[in-house]
Structure 1
């Protein structure tokens, strides 16, 4: 019999933190550690709005797995099916070929995808900010709208190209709207034909409050700050229909618009749907120790798992945040090691460190350890937290250097040329159509059920 094989699915906060801890706690002789991820980097997701705004470069938030990890084997692909009876995972490699990976212990941290609804035109004309490629593309797209509006003589076209709508009043949507609005405002100095008053930003959300997790005071402070900048905020409103050059809101308004950025929440990875497992709103049901009931050696965590929030009780589950994912990764690694050594597992408990929201420039709202901050002090806390959370000194240095360069030299508003002549949409980036059905998974793994591991 060979070493036990620990298979970790997902190279996000939860999966990478789990692998790091496993490497520290297990000797090479105790277990083989394998990470399945399509990218050779861990994406520092909270700074994607700043990538879209050009404040930091894509490389700065793409933290090298080769630098962050040690001996773990990295399989370049995405898990597209799980068969817990066969103890096997089907992987679609970056070459598009399928392979089967066996495991003794499985850690499922596949993360989440953008949550969408059955809204006419949404899949074709909306853009997201969930992946590194999307953030880089959004920047190109926004600058392209300024370029095209600047030379257009058609007032209708100019109005549509200079109106930007962000759907989603959570952290991602608010930070994206705030950061990109500063970009378009500053860019007007380089466009003699554009008037800053002609550029319109809208932030809409079906919820009655902006970023309700911040509390009433900080949420109100953030909303007032954005409104002073000229961002129109509409709450209790969503999108009814999206067209190539217009958007219709649920309150009946129809506005000319060629840019709709969709950040209205996330849904668990479709990988969870390939398993015969209990779910809560699409998230994998797990016990407090993050083991999956009735599935030997399987653990779930991060955005794709409904991890009980013991700090709140009353059946609450942990929200899909980077803070929880990193801590759960550490806790799952400890429990995998305990399971491997025949020791008892421990439940996941946490103490909330607070929240940070970077609104661009010197503006921010933060709530570290329950202390409410606004303005420059909040910005120091927010950026200090981000640097602390990055896992390599190189990433920290690059990010800090980007902040300093942007603050002193500004932006050049350069388009790279992504998706030249063909607009991209949500479906072009997240590959949600690549997963297998349960029957397809069994076609690849069925012969393994009765085959002992050699």
Structure 2
């Protein structure tokens, strides 16, 4: 076969699901069976669970960004850009490249793993004044911002301004929010010792969530244990509460409290990538409705997985159960989808996805953690060993493992230098500036763009 006649497998997204799929395809497909193409704005896989440790300075940003171009043996073509629409009928993916050019990429098989974006609500001022914790840039920016608040409070002669700069609000009682609040509180607790003019008692962290429990998946006992740890550190936890409105210098809670603050971090869940809405296909709570084999009903050669797909959770035995948007599911789904794509190419039967959850780990910084591996409840140092051991082993390369382990050891021995990297010298950016959710096309725009391109070619 020549390159013109080989089937084209297009993978959208370089998260856990997309990268695992690509690597499996590369290992199991012969060179002349198919061409593999990966669409991603950045040529690295981000290990999202460790973002709070980047924000707190325990890990460097590079240590959790695993390059996709490091190995010479991989043959996948990487298109630097983002998919902004898919025409399922024409089998064309519309891509906005990093040079801002819009191109059409034909495919024979497509694997949709675009991931998720921060879930927001119609709360006045939220996207203009909150920070997210979903990307490497956001984590690095939040670290700079938090340290800058200490610098600005130290330089201020106004008591009210100083107090507002030393109050921090995190919304979201899931893993991301809890770990973010825990890790950043440790950062400010350690850093304020280097500011003799600041009263440590002025530093206050608030963790709020509309749910009645913190991390309910952990169970009552471990959930209470995590709350006790955070409260002993001085973090104020408010459950059954959310944000009514957000301003640049204060946040109003739904229970009426007004908190003067310059720092609002929003981690209240995720939503499927807006790319899914461009397909015009059936969804389940915003996620693409797929079969147990992760195929899209009614469309040959279309597979979807990860955060953007409602993959049936066969292990739970419930008809309407879907897999949660976690890394352990995404990685395993990626490998299963790759096998099913190969099976389709070779006219072999497809296999359903099934995985029993291995448990949960929550790193609260230092020696504090709560974990539930294989249903066994742990807290303290044993839980910390399990949590970090799990994350360390899940990193894809030995280089990444070495960097992360070195960072952990160095931070434990030498502590933090509380250095800002310079983001604050630029224009202030918030949640709305990082995810570019207004870049996607509507289904009608996708079809019109594809038809216009075809008419020009003919």
Could you tell me which residue of structure 2 aligns to residue 30 of structure 1?
Answer: 33
| Residues 37-436 of structure 1: pairs in structure 2 closer than 5 A | 37-67=40-70, 70-312=74-316, 313-420=318-425, 422-436=427-441
| Kept after mapping to 2: 8 A contact 1:167/1:205 | yes
Q: How far is 1:143 from its partner?
A: 0.3
Measured in 2, the distance between the counterparts of 1:433 and 1:58 equals: 27
**SS of equivalent residue, structure 2 residue 314:** coil
Measured in 2, the distance between the counterparts of 1:306 and 1:98 equals: 29
Q: How far is 1:443 from its partner?
A: 2.4
| Unaligned segments of structure 2, at least 5 residues | none
Measured in 1, the distance between the counterparts of 2:227 and 2:328 equals: 24
Measured in 1, the distance between the counterparts of 2:182 and 2:14 equals: 28
Cα distance change, pair 421–36 in 1 and its aligned pair in 2 (3 A) = closer
**SS of equivalent residue, structure 2 residue 55:** helix
Cα distance change, pair 450–6 in 1 and its aligned pair in 2 (3 A) = farther
| Kept after mapping to 2: 8 A contact 1:85/1:449 | no
| Residues 8-23 of structure 1: pairs in structure 2 closer than 5 A | 8-23=11-26
Quick check: 1:5 aligned with 2:29?
no
1:15-71 CA distances to partner (integer Å, 9 max, x unpaired)? 000001011110110010110000010000000000000000000010011136711
Q: How far is 1:447 from its partner?
A: 6.1
Stretch deviating more after TM superposition (297-306 or 151-160): 151-160
Q: How far is 1:419 from its partner?
A: 4.3
Measured in 2, the distance between the counterparts of 1:92 and 1:447 equals: 16
Q: How far is 1:445 from its partner?
A: 1.6
How many aligned residue pairs are there?
Answer: 452
Measured in 1, the distance between the counterparts of 2:93 and 2:22 equals: 17
Scaled by the length of structure 1, the TM-score of the pair is: 0.98
Cα distance change, pair 276–251 in 1 and its aligned pair in 2 (3 A) = same
Q: How far is 1:6 from its partner?
A: 0.3
| Unaligned segments of structure 1, at least 5 residues | none
| Kept after mapping to 2: 8 A contact 1:168/1:205 | yes
| Kept after mapping to 2: 8 A contact 1:9/1:109 | yes
